[in-house]
Amino acid sequence: MLRQCALRVLSRTRAAPGCRRYGSCSPSAGGDTGEARAYFTTPIFYVNAAPHIGHLYSALLADALCRHRRLCVPGSASTRFATGTDEHGLKIQQAAATAGLSPIELCDRVSAQFQQLFREAGISSTDFIRTTEARHRLAVQHFWEVLEARGMLYKGLYEGWYCASDECFLPEAKVTRQVGPTGDPCPVSLESGHPVSWTKEENYIFRLSQFREPLQRWLRNNPQAITPEPFHQTVLQWLEEELPDLSVSRRSSHLHWGIPVPGDDSQTIYVWLDALVNYLTVVGYPDADFKSWWPATSHIIGKDILKFHAIYWPALLLGAGLRPPHRIYVHSHWTVSGQKMSKSLGNVVDPRTCLDRYTVDGFRYFLLRQGVPNWDCDYYDEKVVKLLDSELADALGGLLNRCTAYRINPSGTYPSFCTACFPSEPGLTGPSVRVQAEDYALVSAMATLPRQVADYYDDFQIYKALEAVSSCVRQTNGFIQRHAPWKLTWESPEDALWLGTVLHVAFECLRVFGTLLQPVTPSLADKLLSRLGVSAEERGLRELHFLPRFYGHSCPFEGRKLGPDTGLLFPRLDQSRTWLVKAHRT
């Protein structure tokens, strides 16, 4: 029964390895890979303050999805991954004034911080866009002209609340009063708590109300458009309510830091319209070739900007005669001691300190393993140490150590698998059979793991993919513990066959773990795979066939020399980090 299951899995794995289809476009004529294209984006980040771990989390989720796709479809030409900075608008204009800088000075400074952070964190973006670039101004103005030509804009009086921090208009029902610094009640946004001010001016207005039904249709016909599913439902619920037209410009005398409305310098384009168009700018809009990437787009965004991406953006695209993005992946937020991170509360967690303390791979693993898209997650240092020590240092690192230790594997090779010791048919008996029933459960779990991981990536549940890997690591440690290879000896011919088989199975598991961890912990995975002697060409998901000898195929790794020992895979943190002791004392 178990074997049947494992065999079925293998045949599935061979036909369709652990890959899922991300939003994809056919390559344009002359497309160089022949593969469908996929385009991943992060939100572009406001430059009013330095990056924090929430921003890094958004970028890491996109990075992991994109790296996973590259493992399925190798070659750089068919996958694109954009990030960048959102540099216009009232928020930036005001932040620059407060800092005593010109807006562009502030933008240059903070944009560089984001770029440096992302470089250090291994964000493998192919494009970094700044909305102050000339190419972007051109794209936004062109997009505006298309909207205008299609009759989507009109001039009208806008009167209502505006929240500069959130850069959004709010109806009366979304505004409340809070006691301000002077003791007087101040109007604030009900959702974010940020101050709002009353605005009355003549603006250009976008006919958003026309798109309620088209948006409903789009979402009903594309149940995977917004993932995870509860966010899809949220948007459908929003669309049950009235959808008022949207003001898409501000008076330039009030907002000068932005892109002027073409042909009307007295108005500046609304920063969200400006920002959203970045996704088109990156792929060359308005040049015709942008269509080879659009709408094969996966937008990764935080839940706070869902309305902009799932209502305004698709409506604007439809208004401009373009298709909505293929997928929108939504995540929740990191809090600190249950509170929102904010400069005023002084609880902002600096991502660069975290990368230094926990290493790049360690911190990437932590955020992606603990971050649950559907709910907010609370951050604290002890949680990071506990997780990394137990899963990366002890479980995974310990497993590698045990199997490669000189006294257990003195030849330093990838040992052979003996089918007489570990027959494909459970329940067989014979003088050489040493396998136990639980070992078949391990084989079965390992054979399904790549597909399971791919499905979790597709559902934007990367933490579950890592949980599944971690559970298999535990099972593999159990396998080693059960068979205690340190009690076997190479000198005895019967022991030697079984000892080789036990190590072979463990190496095969480690090879699968290393391959599957590449999107999350690229350096650690590289170290692991290099130690096992797995070459760069053997690290894709298409080539990932677990334990081929068990299924009657040849195994290219048998007898191969292991790679050099370059030290512990992931050193434990709790003994080596003096700052933690200090943190406990204070």
Contacting residues toward ligand MSP, per CB under 6 A = 43-46, 54-55, 57-58, 86, 275-276, 278, 301-302, 304-305, 333-334, 341
Instruction: Report the residue number, 86 or 439, with the smaller CB distance to ligand MSP.
Output: 86
Instruction: Report the residue number, 330 or 529, with the smaller CB distance to ligand MSP.
Output: 330
- Alpha-carbon distance of 547 to 42, in angstroms, equals 37
- Alpha-carbon distance of 185 to 51, in angstroms, equals 31
Are 350 and 116 within 8 A, CB to CB? no
CB of 52 vs ligand MSP, minimal distance in Å: 7
Instruction: Report the residue number, 103 or 450, with the smaller CB distance to ligand MSP.
Output: 103
CB of 335 vs ligand MSP, minimal distance in Å: 7
- Alpha-carbon distance of 304 to 167, in angstroms, equals 12
- Pairing between β-strand 127-130 and β-strand 79-86 as defined by DSSP bridges: parallel
- Alpha-carbon distance of 307 to 310, in angstroms, equals 5
Q: Strands across the sheet with 297-302, in order?
A: 127-130, 79-86, 38-46, 297-302, 327-331, 226-227
DSSP symbol at 374: T
Are 92 and 106 within 8 A, CB to CB? yes
CB of 180 vs ligand MSP, minimal distance in Å: 23
Instruction: Report the residue number, 267 or 332, with the smaller CB distance to ligand MSP.
Output: 332
CB of 107 vs ligand MSP, minimal distance in Å: 12
- Alpha-carbon distance of 496 to 560, in angstroms, equals 17
Instruction: Report the residue number, 192 or 216, with the smaller CB distance to ligand MSP.
Output: 192
CB of 274 vs ligand MSP, minimal distance in Å: 9
Instruction: Report the residue number, 44 or 121, with the smaller CB distance to ligand MSP.
Output: 44
Instruction: Report the residue number, 194 or 333, with the smaller CB distance to ligand MSP.
Output: 333
User: 516, 519, 518: which is closest to 527 by C-alpha?
Assistant: 518
Distance, CA of 545 to chain centre: 25
CB of 426 vs ligand MSP, minimal distance in Å: 46
Structure tokens at 134: 């000339």
CB of 72 vs ligand MSP, minimal distance in Å: 25
Instruction: Report the residue number, 342 or 535, with the smaller CB distance to ligand MSP.
Output: 342
- Pairing between β-strand 127-130 and β-strand 377-379 as defined by DSSP bridges: unpaired
Instruction: Report the residue number, 68 or 331, with the smaller CB distance to ligand MSP.
Output: 331
Are 461 and 20 within 8 A, CB to CB? no
Instruction: Report the residue number, 91 or 483, with the smaller CB distance to ligand MSP.
Output: 91
- Alpha-carbon distance of 34 to 438, in angstroms, equals 43
User: 437, 447, 440, 423: which is closest to 9 by C-alpha?
Assistant: 447
Instruction: Report the residue number, 22 or 312, with the smaller CB distance to ligand MSP.
Output: 312
Helix (H) or strand (E) holding 148: helix 134-149
Burial of 578 (0-12, 13-18, 19+ CB in 10 A): exposed
CB of 243 vs ligand MSP, minimal distance in Å: 20
Instruction: Report the residue number, 313 or 457, with the smaller CB distance to ligand MSP.
Output: 313
Q: What is the DSSP string of 311-346?
A: IIHHHHHHHTT-PPPSEEEEE--EEETTEE--TTTT
Q: Strands across the sheet with 246-247, in order?
A: 168-170, 153-163, 197-206, 246-247
CB of 215 vs ligand MSP, minimal distance in Å: 18
Are 157 and 202 within 8 A, CB to CB? yes
Q: Which residue is nearest to ligand MSP (CB)?
A: 302
CB of 98 vs ligand MSP, minimal distance in Å: 17
CB of 302 vs ligand MSP, minimal distance in Å: 2
**Phi and psi for 538 in degrees, rounded to 5?**
-105, 20
CB of 299 vs ligand MSP, minimal distance in Å: 8
Are 574 and 539 within 8 A, CB to CB? no
